[in-house]
Amino acid sequence: MEILLGFIFGATIGGVLHFLQPGRDARGVALAPTLGAAVSGITWLVLTWAGIGTDNPWIWVLSIVVPAVVVPLVLSVLTRTRATHDANERLRLKIA
């Protein structure tokens, strides 16, 4: 049941990063919170499978730190990819 806290931490971090990082007009508002929740949930799952229980602080720290590192990287890559794709489409369609 504590994995829900991991999902909430990740979604909150993703939501904050959505508004802090540039290029939010090029991505959906739900992308970053969903990505943060997924990364945090996967981190929690892997650590649980590794035998780390909820009494160990590492599961809590890593379920916050990993999304805080992964989400900005993914968002910056997606924003650059979208900008490049949009520029190529404008050239292809001969739009100014």
pLDDT at 96 exceeding the cut of 80:
no
For 25-84, write each residue's pLDDT tens digit: 888 999 999 999 999 999 999 999 999 999 999 999 999 999 999 999 999 999 999 999
Find, among 56, 52, 67, the residue nearest to 6 by Cα. 67
State the greatest distance between any 2 C-alpha atoms of the chain, in Å, as a whole number: 60
Query: How large a percentage of the chain has pLDDT more than 70?
Result: 100
Per-domain residue ranges for the chain? 3-92
Please give the model's pTM, rounded to 2 decimal places. Answer: 0.90
Report the run of H or E that residue 93 belongs to, with start and end: none
| Neighbouring C-beta atoms of residue 33, cutoff 10 Å | 22
